[in-house]
Amino acid sequence: MATAGTALAVLGLLVAALTPACAAPLRFVKQTDLPQIGLRLKLMPHARETPPTPPKVEIYRFTKGTESWKTEMYAPLDLWRQRQHAGSWADGAGNTLLLARINCPLPEGFPHEHVSLTEYDAKATEAAERVRDGWTEPELALWVADFTGAKTAAAHPVTPRPLAVSDLLQFDLAEPVPATLAYAFRVRRPMPGHAPAPSSWLFARFTLAPGADRDAARQAIREKFFGSVSPIAIVAPAGPSDTFQNPATLVGGGPSQPFEASRKQVRDSIRNMKDWWYVETPHYIILSDLGTRHRRLVQQLQADIEKLRAAYAQLIPARRPITTISVIRVFAESEAYTRYVGPLHADSVGLWMAAKKELVVRPTFGGQSAEDRDSVPRATFHEAFHQYVDYAFDYVRPAVWFNEGHAVFFENAELRGGRVSIDEGRRHLKTLRELIESDWLTADRIRAILAMSYPDFYAGSLDVKLQRYAVAWGIVYYLRKGLDPEAPPAYAGVLDRYGDALWQTRDAGQATEAAFAGIDLAAFRDELVQFWKSASRRARARRNLLFAP
């Protein structure tokens, strides 16, 4: 029989279970210097800096007479937000802080929904001229509404104001901007021989964790955050790293003005990020926050990726001059990588994010096995092919068998003594030979994989996807390195015909049909199987180096 005390205890547990848990209070304890914007302030406990999301690229096709070309375009709002971003942080409780410079109203008057970098810069210069003599309160409110996505923003002075802050405005945001607290502020900077003068306007946006007490958060922001703000000397923004730069790959200007504009945009994306740096090669810019113990790895990557880029171009020449710098972002921490790529790709080692125009790499350098240590360059070589082929075909995406088959082909590259060689991939070879030994690899299955769309190719279990990767790689490896002199002559031209047809038709499926036109897939399957069963033919293929030193 339950006692009254027991009943009350059970009732208390039920009430606790049904009552929403309150989020941990917003606190600021981590003293941090931000020399790129000249501030010292306190951040949330365990706050980690998060890279800004690059503007999404939209590809526009233009025609003039018989000539056509594609150009990268952007939403002006995305470019505007990126150019004013000064830093962002997230803590373990779900709170975030974003800092921005209020340096330019949102540019307007563009003739199209999306613009080139050159068009944007011209309008941004005009917009900055409108506030050259200073910002009014209505102009600040409009800036805040545009930046946060609110319909309107109403400014209210915050009092009492911390001593180091000369101006502090709090904004009430009209929906839809949930759980957001927004402030514009200026700090007093000491002037030699004069009274302290206010600096330029800055913006702070706090996004609160679910269940957070807004009133308590406002008090903490006013007293603890702004109360901790003080000016420090402004230093040059994040820049090239002498420590990580490989002198052999350092270059001057790029091949074209659009290429250099894309390089500058990438440099600017980390200009305010503490501990981030970049290094450059003729075709790449590498962004990272790795520590100095990885210096040799980064310098080797710069040399290797350029050699591999030449190998990509030898087998699959670019159909139009490439006018975009290739970006590789290497994270120092796996958690930061996971946040950046999102939950769908959380288990990946590397990823070509086409919409962001970034090849992103997870840090697995600390692994104990040789496979773990080798995973970063292998993933980079694989994803860098996807990156290259997007540019080489002017954003016309090839069929998935061609794309993934070559990516796996190049992930097995060995770079020694200035020479690129391609070896067999042990993991995919094991899968392919199992498919061959079990008679799974029929002509109909080859035909189905050649016709697959990207969603179909990536669907199913991991084992099923590995089968498709293995077959696509097995076909590409055989056609690139393993053709027997007795094989039908048409086999030798399949991959080149594919590239030509893709460029002419702009259709991945039609290009596959053109590449395999006149080829009996049953006979092709038999020849493919014979190659992979023959130790002597595979040994001869391994000696086929393909690339000159």
Of the pLDDT bands very low, low, confident and very high (cuts 50, 70, 90), residue 23 is: low
Alpha helices in 438-507, H assignment, sequence order: 443-450, 454-458, 462-481, 494-505
Neighbours of 113 (CB within 10 A): 10
Handedness of CA 226, 227, 232, 237 (dihedral sign): negative
Query: In sequence order, what are the beta bridge partners of 149?
Result: none
Averaged pLDDT, 517-534? 96
Q: Taking Cα atoms as reference points, which of 292, 284, 360, 291 lies closest to residue 324?
A: 284
Contact 85, 272 (CB under 8 A): yes
Using CA atoms, how far apart are residues 259 and 475, in angstroms rounded to an integer? 35
The pLDDT tens digits for 291-325 are 998 888 899 999 999 999 999 999 999 998 898 89
Q: Which residue has the higher pLDDT, 190 or 264?
A: 264
Q: What pLDDT score does 197 carry? A: 60
DSSP 224: I
Contact 42, 32 (CB under 8 A): yes
Using a pLDDT cut of 70, give the percent of the chain over it: 90
Neighbours of 484 (CB within 10 A): 15
Question: Which segment of 104-108, 116-120, 251-255, 416-420 scores lowest on mean pLDDT?
Answer: 251-255
Cα torsion through 242, 247, 249, 254, rounded to 10: 70
Mean pLDDT of all residues in the chain? 88
Using CA atoms, how far apart are residues 232 and 7, in angstroms rounded to an integer? 60
Six-digit token string for 491? 């086999």
Averaged pLDDT, 238-245? 75
Q: What pLDDT score does 370 carry? A: 54
The pLDDT tens digits for 434-460 are 999 999 999 999 999 999 999 999 999
Neighbours of 486 (CB within 10 A): 6
Q: Which residue has the higher pLDDT, 384 or 192?
A: 384
Q: What pLDDT score does 460 carry? A: 94
How many helices and strands, by DSSP H and E, does the chain display? 18, 20
Six-digit token string for 251? 């270059």
Place of tokens 């958690």: 335
The pLDDT tens digits for 40-69 are 999 999 898 888 888 888 888 888 877 777
Of the pLDDT bands very low, low, confident and very high (cuts 50, 70, 90), residue 533 is: very high
Q: What pLDDT score does 113 carry? A: 93
> Residue 302 carries which side chain, given as an amino acid letter?
Q
pLDDT at 264 over 60: yes
Q: Taking Cα atoms as reference points, which of 136, 134, 107 lies closest to residue 123?
A: 107
- Residue 14: which residues within 8 A CB-CB, separation 6 or more? none
CA distances to 307, 409, 544 from 547, rounded to whole Å, are 10, 14, 9
Using CA atoms, how far apart are residues 22 and 166, in angstroms rounded to an integer? 34
Six-digit token string for 226? 């702004």
Query: In sequence order, what are the beta bridge partners of 288?
Result: 277, 330
Contact 348, 331 (CB under 8 A): no
Q: Taking Cα atoms as reference points, which of 416, 437, 407, 412 lies closest to residue 425?
A: 412
Long-range contact list for 336-341, CB < 8 A, 24+ apart? Answer: 336/48, 336/50, 336/51, 337/361, 337/362, 337/363, 338/362, 339/50, 339/90, 340/50, 340/51
pLDDT at 9 over 60: no
Averaged pLDDT, 279-301? 91
Q: What pLDDT score does 5 carry? A: 45
The pLDDT tens digits for 379-417 are 999 999 999 999 999 999 999 999 999 999 999 999 987
Q: What pLDDT score does 257 carry? A: 66
Burial of 157 (0-12, 13-18, 19+ CB in 10 A): exposed
The pLDDT tens digits for 121-166 are 999 999 999 998 899 999 999 999 999 999 999 999 999 988 889 9
The pLDDT tens digits for 464-504 are 999 999 999 999 999 999 998 888 899 999 999 999 999 99
Six-digit token string for 254? 């790029």
Using CA atoms, how far apart are residues 90 and 436, in angstroms rounded to an integer? 50
Place of tokens 């091949």: 255
Using CA atoms, how far apart are residues 99 and 274, in angstroms rounded to an integer? 13
pLDDT at 207 over 60: yes
Neighbours of 439 (CB within 10 A): 8
DSSP 349: S
Q: Taking Cα atoms as reference points, which of 430, 383, 431, 374 lies closest to residue 406?
A: 383
Using CA atoms, how far apart are residues 10 and 12, in angstroms rounded to an integer? 5
Of the pLDDT bands very low, low, confident and very high (cuts 50, 70, 90), residue 171 is: very high
Sheet harboring 39-43: ordered strands across? Answer: 30-34, 39-43, 230-231
Contact 276, 332 (CB under 8 A): no
CA-based end-to-end distance of the chain: 87
pLDDT at 367 over 80: no
Q: What pLDDT score does 15 carry? A: 40
Of the pLDDT bands very low, low, confident and very high (cuts 50, 70, 90), residue 375 is: confident
DSSP 54: P
> Residue 350 carries which side chain, given as an amino acid letter?
G
pLDDT at 175 over 70: yes
Q: What pLDDT score does 18 carry? A: 41
